[in-house]
Amino acid sequence: MTKHILKNGVRVIVHPMSHTRAVSIGVWIEAGSRHETAEQAGMAHFIEHMLFKGTQTRSAKDLAIAFDRIGGNSNAYTSKEQTCYYTRVLDRYTKEAIDLLADMLWNSVFDEEEMEREKQVIIEEIHMVEDTPDDCVHEYLWEAMYPDHPLGHSILGTKETLASFSRDDVLAFYKDAYHPSRIIVSLAGNIEDDMIPYLEQVFGQVSWEEPQKSVLQPALFHATEVRNTKEVEQAHLTIAWPSSGVKDEQIYATVLLQTMLGGSMSSRLFQEIRETRGLAYSIYSYHTSYIDQGVFAIYGGTSPEQLEELEAAIHESVNHLLETGFTEIELENAKDQIISNIYLSLENSTTWMNRLARNEILYGYQKSIDEYVNRYQQVTLHDIEQVSQLFIQKSAKSLILPS
């Protein structure tokens, strides 16, 4: 794989894969909802939508037809710390796909009528999340953990903030967030040798004055509880603790802990709460990591009359873990599971495209697969015991109860 810096500062990382006819292309922006003020909540996600709504030479329909014509699986997403536009195409359509992504990136018009329509589309997206309790229980959790901080805001924003966005507001945020120095283009697949000059031509010609770099403010974790009632059949519960950031040395042990506790069908939580007690259909743990901090959470959904028993069973499982720990066999099985998933996923060009960009964003260089695998292999039961101490800290809790 190779890295190139275009003359305007856009970083390009390329990973040729000769065994496939596919090419995955991603345009990554080092800005997400965490870079918004309270008044801007939802702005990064709104801009993500608007880049599909027409350029100086293509309408929104033209863009859709062009992607469909080349069989492109195109989409985008906004996270707390990044925004990504991506497509996967047959190798012979690589340049056409690059043209489309570059046109969206540099030439979107942000038409005011389209903006008003898209605000309504996103409001419907907000309604969809609100009508999906096993989604919105996590939104409520984040609001509880990080009140008055961008990490606690919904990526979608609110109806009020969306309504307040003017075209000037959107363009000002775009100019800051989408400066070429904050953009990474990652490509993986069956890529032609002349691709770098072509990328320079379509991605490297646009620039403007670089904005002042903003400093991310750390978020203070709040141990608290929030309860919401909805017209639902099940009660939904999430419990969370502060945990490792993605660049923390303990991240590998934390991922293994999450896998053993609630990351698979053989995990402690699944076996105890679903298989042995029959308290829940869906029960799992997950770990979300940001650049400087992370969250370890457990989710379960059950009937209202079993909610207290479910919560008690979760805490019993956690307390048993603190008292007795895991076994060597459990740890080795978790390592095998994670390492197998790493290698199997690398047969896919999209996985490589994502990996290239994430490594560049986090480290500024490409960590080898062997380095990741070795770090997981080096984790000991003592390391797991150390990261398990996060459960001693006070937790945050979010519940959705039937109304």
Reported as a single tens digit per residue, the pLDDT across 276-292 is 999 999 999 999 999 99
Catalytic residue numbers read: 48
User: pLDDT tens, 338-359?
Assistant: 999 999 999 999 999 999 999 9
- pLDDT given for residue 311 in this prediction: 97
Amino acid (one-letter) located at 220: L
- Give the integer Cα–Cα distance in Å for 48 and 155: 11
Q: For residue 10, how many other CB atoms are within 10 A of its CB? A: 25
- Residue 308: partners with Cβ closer than 8 Å, 6 or more residues away: none
Quick one: average pLDDT of 203-232? 91
Backbone angles phi, psi at 348, to 5 degrees: -105, 130
Classified by CATH at the fold level, domain 225-402 comes out as Cytochrome Bc1 Complex; Chain A, domain 1 (3.30.830)
pLDDT at 1: 85
> CA triplet 55, 60, 63: central angle to 5 degrees?
80
CA–CA separation, 108 and 286 (whole Å): 37
Q: In which band, very low, low, confident or very high, does the pLDDT at 212 lie, cut at 50, 70 and 90?
A: confident
- Do 2-203 and 225-402 share a fold? yes
Structure tokens at 52: 């599909």
- Torsion angle defined by CA atoms of residues 347, 350, 351 and 354, in that order, rounded to the nearest 10 degrees: 150
Query: What's the DSSP call for residue 210?
Result: P
For the chain, percent of residues with pLDDT exceeding 90: 95
Q: CA of 79: how far to CAs of 324, 381, 391, in Å?
A: 37, 33, 26
Long-range contacts of 260-263 (CB under 8 A, 24+ apart): 260/326, 260/330, 260/331, 260/334, 260/384, 261/285, 261/298, 261/317, 261/318, 261/321, 262/286, 262/298, 263/334
Segment 55-84 shows an average pLDDT of 95
* pLDDT of 146 over the 80 cut: yes
What superfamily would CATH give domain 2-203? Metalloenzyme, LuxS/M16 peptidase-like (3.30.830.10)
**What does the alpha-carbon distance between residue 60 and residue 71 come to, in Å, rounded to a whole number?**
17
Residue 398 vs residues 71, 224, 302, 319, 395: alpha-carbon distances, Å: 42, 9, 14, 20, 10
pLDDT at site 379: 98
Over 80: is that where the pLDDT of 372 sits? yes
Task: Inform me whether the pLDDT recorded for 202 exceeds 90.
Answer: yes
Domain boundaries, the chain: 2-203, 225-402
pTM of the full structure? 0.95
What are 224-255's pLDDT values in tens digits? 999 999 999 999 999 999 999 999 999 999 99
Q: What is the mean pLDDT of residues 266-275?
A: 97
Question: Mean pLDDT across the chain, nearest whole number?
Answer: 96
Q: At how many degrees (to 10) do helices 307-324 and 251-262 cross? A: 130
Q: What is the pLDDT of residue 215?
A: 79
Q: pLDDT for 169-198, tens place per residue?
A: 999 999 999 999 999 999 999 998 789 999
